[in-house]
Structure 1
């Protein structure tokens, strides 16, 4: 089963991204989603290649955000596709069955559609307003997660769902109570100078009710 915490990378330069990702890995995060938007292709490639080696060293999953061909070129563990990116089934045809493909969702119908097209996990959001992402979909809030996850249960739909969008430490317990699998965060981890302590606290909350 996938880890319950995903770190979505932040940083405007290669150095900032590398530093933040290395810090997250060093502090116990074992799933990195590389998000490096609107950059020169060579810079993105160089960063992705470096992050791939880092993740291999830390035995962490490495997913590339949006850029399927980059994920394929550097042999990343998979790709995460937004609602306006390439269709999941097209990505699956290109990457094959062994790679991880995640999809962004804002509604129950998005999830059904992704699942039918061969998606492995869902990034469902946004939970609340976040400055990290442009062109934000409608805010779900806690009631939105309850409603969607309940509908999934009623229709026997099983796929790991990660909450995303402006999540804080205090949000984790109520979010996990909705029945989601985990959370994807960026700012919460990037901005703290006590990453190891924070990631430990996050994981304690995420795994609190898991029977080993």
Structure 2
């Protein structure tokens, strides 16, 4: 089961990764990706252990970004790999067959590669510029999503595809009409006092889209 709303953790001047994750969990988030950059694996492991306990407390699912050994060590629900990380096939040898593995894609060719590698879901993006990622891939934009998702339909791919990269609440209707499964967000929830209302509104939009897709299929 791949949730329709993914939260990707980030730290700010006033909020640590764990504080941000706990706030989103308290607000109703159910799919948490721990994304820690420029830190040693030992540090990520300790954060992952704490994040996993928080997710268990709130009956949520923890996804580890980049570190297959860490995902295995904490028995995380999933692992997410960027375009420049190891292959999904190699990561699965480390993390095991039970774990859900997602991979980032920027083009339809990337997406085909991820499907061939055996991804369980794909993070497609970025929609627009985002400061949360240093080495940002070329921006796709709404037209890019429409074009790629049309190629996806023609190819018969059925695995869930998640839009990522600078996404706001207002973007959901336009993105979801392309056939995307859901969205991944970060800054629009991190440290926000109204995160609970934001999550409720986004889930409502996502579920409305899912219902419409089901009725029209």
TM-score in terms of structure 1 length: 0.95
1:190 aligns with 2:190: yes
2-structure distance, mates of 1:113, 1:40: 29
Structure 1 match to 2:2: 2
Deviation at 1:191, TM superposition (A): 4.3
1-structure distance, mates of 2:190, 2:12: 12
2-structure distance, mates of 1:146, 1:40: 38
2-structure distance, mates of 1:97, 1:18: 27
SS across alignment from 1:187: coil
Task: Tell me the matched-pair count.
Answer: 212
Gaps of 5+ in 1: none
CA separation of 1:97/1:20 partners in 2, compared to 1, >3 Å: closer, same or farther? Answer: same
SS across alignment from 2:189: helix
5 Å-filtered alignment, 1:172-211, equals 172-211=172-211
1:155 aligns with 2:146: no
Q: Which moved more, 1:130-139 or 1:33-42?
A: 33-42
Structure 2 match to 1:46: 46
TM-score in terms of structure 2 length: 0.93
Runs of 4+ in 1 over 4 A off after TM superposition: none
Gaps of 5+ in 2: none
Structure 1 match to 2:82: 82
Deviation at 1:17, TM superposition (A): 1.2
